[in-house]
Structure 1
Amino acid sequence: MKDGKPIPGAPTPEYKNDPKNPTKVLPNEGVPEVPGYNPKNPGKKITPENPTKDTDVPYVPIIGDGRIVINYVDQDDNDAILDTATPTGKFGTKITYTTTAEIKKLENEGYVLVKDGYTDSTGHSEFTKENDNHVYEVIMKHGTVTYNPHDNPAKPGEPINPNDPNSPKVTDNDVDYSKSVKETIHYVGAGDQTPSDNVQNVTLTRSITVDRVTGNIISSTKWQPSQIDYK
């Protein structure tokens, strides 16, 4: 029994008669094993006082070590596991782990949270047999940054993620977003009245999008004229 109540599924062996005196039962019998519980008085033998009635044997729950698993997964890298947390504690004790610090660390490295399957779920307020070794997933994806000469210029060598000491660096290719070209309009057919060549210096620009985690260029827009100087 636990707390004065029968334990569901616990074995209830029958008394064994004393072969020397069938009107009595054997004394000093051991108690049955109950999964997840220990006898309150381990080693104590049982001698029923009244063979016609059940004998209550007190048990206490086994307070074992529980564990849960939180995997931080990279959605953009075939669900590769970025990090794993394995909080442990005695069954029945409160789980104090939160994902806040690890998510912040990954965001500093250029990741973006997709879904926090640990915080958004239920059933993990304390360590229990039901959630023992349960695996939760926190899904992250790669963030991006777009460089262009107007709204977000960058310098080669500076970190893509300023809060990450191991951040990939901006490369020359990342800032290849502006160039000047010369266009000449040549007029003919008007004799002495033919105008001089019209030379135009055209500045072309584009935007370049970079993966904040890998530092790789993801895409770039088409070159577009942003300024024309006539001479």
Structure 2
Amino acid sequence: KYVPIENAKYTLTERFVDEEGNEISPSVVKGTDYEEGSEYDVTGDAKVIDGYYLKETSNTTGKFGKGDMTATFTYAKLGKIIPVDPEGNPIPDAPTPQYPNNPTDPGKTTPDQPVPEIPGYRPEVPSVTPTDPGKDTPVKYVPIENAKYTLTERFVDEEGNEISPSVVKGTDYEEGSEYDVTGDAKVIDGYYLKETSNTTGKFGKGDMTATFTYAKLGKIIPVDPEGNPIPDAPTPQYPNDPTDPGKTTPDQPVPEIPGYRPEVPSVTPTDPGKDTPVKYVPIENAKYTLTE
């Protein structure tokens, strides 16, 4: 048996969710001291949430009974501008920008949105005003005859970070133009050329990017007779081969380490990206220098 509590206090919580009920913005406790019979209206608490528009609400106005209340604001993804060709087919690799939020109204997007630029195409309209914030808007583009395209060369590490400035190889390529820039690989200090992509090919309707991907050159690692790295020993990185971006040089002298004798005077790495351990043997009765 439960006994009614006089003057019980109840909580009003606001939830902000997508159409699947997933929370897309933290819930808000609107208050904790509502009583039975208290009326509330939190319709105006709808938030502007990036990439979403307010689609519907539930329980955002009402009256408390005996228990807590939850007001729910349900959002849906904003639509996109979809570039299509004259036949209505989406243009491959064309940007499809999502509608921007209306900063003053969570349930709307903005008017007069500029359509994206697509090399080799001309849009039939310069901007669009979506009629439904959740519905995509197809925009027809017409091919431009004799369009000119750009070829850019990028020089990056394995994570895609630029390690040498990009180079614009040309800006007057046409659809069907063939190119081969494999020979443009650079010698970049401390790195070797590991792979390339799109360095040869043929232009379609759009700009092209040739990518040269580099990895760090390996090092010489002095180790003791048991194969353990010698503490504080120098570990020189392989030098670049000045004539070949994908290689290092042969016959690299090993470093001198006081009190140790290397088993080999030099090394020729078999893999420019792989470290080479070099075994050193302690010298008996070695003499050392103290410098003040």
TM-score, structure 2 as length reference: 0.29
Greater Cα radius of gyration, structure 1 or 2: 1
TM-score, structure 1 as length reference: 0.36
Determine which structure has the larger helix proportion and give its number. 1
Higher relative contact order (CA 8 A, sep 6+): 1
Determine which structure has the larger strand proportion and give its number. 2
